[in-house]
Amino acid sequence: MRVTSTGKDTVFGKMMSQTDADSSGKKCKLEACLHKVTTCTHFSGLLISIVIIVALFIRYEFGKLDEKNGSYMPESMEEQTRIKTIMDAIKGIIAGLGGRARVLTTLLSVSLLGIVEGMPVVISVAIFIWNRKTLAHKASERDYLAPGNMASVTTIISGKFGGLTEHEMEVDNFLVGEEFVSQSSTVDSNVLEGLCDGIGTFFMRSNGCESKVGALISWAEAKLGMKEGSVREQCEIISGQGSDPFQECCQVLLEKSDNEGRMKYLHCCGPPPDVLRLSSHYYDIKGEIQELDVQIDQAIERMLAEESEVIAFARKYVDESDAASVEANCLIFMGMIGLKNTKREDIIEAVSILKQGGVTTILASGDDISALETIGQDCGLLTRGSDDQVFTGEQFRAWTNEEKTEKLEKIHIMGNCLPSDKILLIKSLKEKDEVVALVGQDTTDSPALKQADIGITSGTWSSEVAVGNRDINIWNGDFCFLVNLIKNGRCFQENIQKFIQLELIVTISSSLINFTTTVFLGDAPITAVQLSWLNLVVSFVGGLALLTGPSTKPLMTMEPVKSCAKLITKAMWRNIVIQAAYQTAIFVTLQNKGHAILGINGGRVKSVIYNSFFLCQIFNMFIAREPERRNIFSGLVRKNWWFWVALVLFLMCQAVFAAAERVVGSSPGLSWKLWAVCLLIAVVSWLLDWAGKTASNLAARWILDQGGKSKSNSISHTPTCC
């Protein structure tokens, strides 16, 4: 008696329910970091807005109007103003058209526009571009942030059919009659045509065994001169049976057009013993029909002993007037083709690259340990003389928590494991702050795919249940594609850090400049329109230039991006502080003493401040490319020409805006000398960046030297026993 069960009241259903509960609160690492940065920036902007409003209110209550520039100067009044008077005055300021309302409205706009509202939009666009570039029509994603999250992966768990065991097949031997053929030109054209028709039935019927069939078709096109278009045009399949010619004898009734008209042939292909049993004659290399003998049996036995896979082909002419001729007997044996596995060096290289990049690969399968050990040695998971260890699922389940902590890092193969063992392995790794990607394709892998940080299905033949629980699907099942996913994910997260540095410099600088000048001088040098235009250009033009650029580092020799790591590093904070402090100091000074230093009026001083501030952000784009290294031009000429396109667009946007301001009359034009001053102020940003990084490197080196000296001194003073 066989008993089946449906619904979730099964072992599989309980595992799925448990993983649903475990993964319900799971949030993408990249998404969490970006949400944290955006939230902190919003709170900072809101705080600045409140402080400015309070400052304006205090100035209005305790100050009096300065007739020279229309601002409220902090001079004490003889008596306190009544609340009603204050409220009436505020209504008058807001409703009036005078210049006094500009200070209040500008500051509120500056504080809100200084927040990087464009950041989520630009990053979303960049994620879409990177996903198209990373997946490259070879994979698809269900979670659009999954390719970026591959940057944090520290462990990849793959099943037996997750790509590690996908060996390429190639044709090794070709037998016609009793002779092994090295050059197809020595074989009769009629025999070659029959073989091409037999192989052509594979792509006409869309058979399975893709790697083997693909190798046969490629070989036939290259060596036998088969053309897929011609086969499809001349041949038509009437009927067929069998699906896997490497496991069973497949029969196809084929109608073909040639010079003599439409003719029917019965083609059989499959394992040599099965095809030979249906044959009575064979073609020799000259195309002559011979009776089967012992010598051809010996050639077949030899080929079966040497090759990994062997497939035989036979056919016969079908006479429409003779119904018995359709039966699969009395076939003419055409030949055999032997295929062998080739050791995929690219998989070995991929495993090695992942290991160099701090990513561990684990092979977990329900197969026997001995078979998995052979696979592990072939693909480079196991090396001789190392402490790599192989365990069974039963052994893993019996470990205590202490044993798991001690031995978990040494696991490279886990055989005879159940689906629940994979889930337990993933949970144990995640408890050690590992980020786990699981590669699977079977329905039984579905709970583990949901439990993993990133679930990846391998191949278009993956089950529907597994595909429904995946984050990424690799269409051709190529394990080497994981290296590309991780590399591009790391590059994208690195680019996000560059973009955040640029945005924070603009936001902090503009907020500090306007806050300081408003509180202490009563006026803001940058208007709301100017700042909104700057934020728009920096976010979209500068952002896309930084977010879509290639990496300047050897990413696969670095450690993975830790899930708990901060998105804004110490080096980024150093750069932000240096540039924000410089821009605040220089532009507040110009706002206060610019008319005396440059000998120009207040309107041109503000124009110099804004244009200099705009140019500073162009130079900060170069600085953001290399947050840690002093050479900010590394790889810029050859690898990232989009950066130069963005730079030209940046300058064009500023030129258009400056011309528009002159036409409207909101800002006076500048002479070439003043433009030279603006450029000089911006160039100083590079010098300060170089000086800051140099000082930081010298300080770090000095600290390391001092630490080494203290360590050597402690060793030299340690007493020794004779």
The CATH number given to whatever domain includes residue 549 is 1.20.1110.10
> In this structure, is the dihedral angle defined by the CA atoms of residues 214, 219, 222 and 226, taken in order, positive or negative?
negative
Average pLDDT over residues 416-444: 89
Q: Answer whether residue 8 is part of any domain.
A: no
> In this structure, is the dihedral angle defined by the CA atoms of residues 682, 684, 689 and 692, taken in order, positive or negative?
negative
Q: Could you give the percent of the chain with pLDDT greater than 90?
A: 11
- By C-alpha distance, which of 248, 252, 253, 240 is closest to 270? 248
Q: Answer whether residue 14 is part of any domain.
A: no
Do 183 and 298 lie in one domain? The reply is: yes
Q: Answer whether residue 671 is part of any domain.
A: yes
Q: Answer whether residue 337 is part of any domain.
A: yes
139: helix, coil or strand? strand
What is the count of structural domains for the chain?
A: 3
Q: Answer whether residue 461 is part of any domain.
A: yes
pLDDT tens-place string over residues 678-699:
999 999 999 999 999 999 889 8
Do 407 and 360 lie in one domain? The reply is: yes
| CA–CA dist 364, 451 (Å, integer) | 15
Q: Output the pLDDT for position 681.
A: 93
Residue 665: pLDDT band (50, 70, 90) is low
Do 675 and 527 lie in one domain? The reply is: yes
Q: Answer whether residue 378 is part of any domain.
A: yes
Identify each DSSP E strand in 115-213 by its residue range.
139-141, 155-158, 168-176, 179-180
Token pair recorded at residue 316? 């016969």
Query: Which of 341, 369, 384 delimits the end of a domain?
Result: 341
| CA–CA dist 381, 105 (Å, integer) | 65
Q: Output the pLDDT for position 564.
A: 59
Q: Output the pLDDT for position 601.
A: 82
CATH number of the domain encompassing residue 364: 3.40.50.1000
What domain range is 701 assigned to? 29-126+486-705
End-to-end alpha-carbon separation of the chain, Å? 80
| CA–CA dist 571, 492 (Å, integer) | 18
Q: Answer whether residue 21 is part of any domain.
A: no
Beta strands 72-73 and 168-176 are unpaired
The mean-pLDDT minimum among 20-24, 244-248, 302-306, 686-690 falls in 20-24
User: Which of 13-17, 62-66, 619-623: highest mean pLDDT?
Assistant: 619-623
Category of 660 on φ-ψ map: left (φ > 0), alpha (ψ -120 to 50) or beta:
alpha
Distances in Å between the Cα of 702 and the Cα atoms of 371, 578, 699, 711 are 54, 21, 5, 14
Q: CA torsion 390→396→398→403, rounded to 10°? A: 80
DSSP state of 550: P
Do 330 and 368 lie in one domain? The reply is: no
Q: Output the pLDDT for position 712.
A: 56
Q: Answer whether residue 134 is part of any domain.
A: no
Q: Pick the more confident residue, 20 or 649.
A: 649
Radius of gyration (Cα) for the chain, nearest Å?
Answer: 37
Does the pTM of the predicted model rise above 0.85?
Answer: no
pLDDT tens-place string over residues 231-250:
888 888 888 888 778 888 88
19: helix, coil or strand? helix
Do 466 and 573 lie in one domain? The reply is: no
CB 245 within 8 A of CB 217: no
Residue 11: pLDDT band (50, 70, 90) is low
Do 217 and 282 lie in one domain? The reply is: yes
Do 527 and 433 lie in one domain? The reply is: no
Residue 354 is which amino acid?
A: L
Length of the chain counted residue by residue? 722
414: helix, coil or strand? strand
Query: Which of 425, 454, 477 delimits the end of a domain?
Result: 477
Do 367 and 294 lie in one domain? The reply is: no
With 70 as the cut, is the pLDDT of residue 549 above it? Answer: yes
Q: Could you give the percent of the chain with pLDDT greater than 70?
A: 76
Do 147 and 244 lie in one domain? The reply is: no
With 50 as the cut, is the pLDDT of residue 93 above it? Answer: no
Do 320 and 422 lie in one domain? The reply is: no
Do 273 and 356 lie in one domain? The reply is: no
Do 518 and 565 lie in one domain? The reply is: yes
Query: Which of 477, 499, 516 delimits the end of a domain?
Result: 477
> Can you tell me which residue has the tokens 């009544």?
82
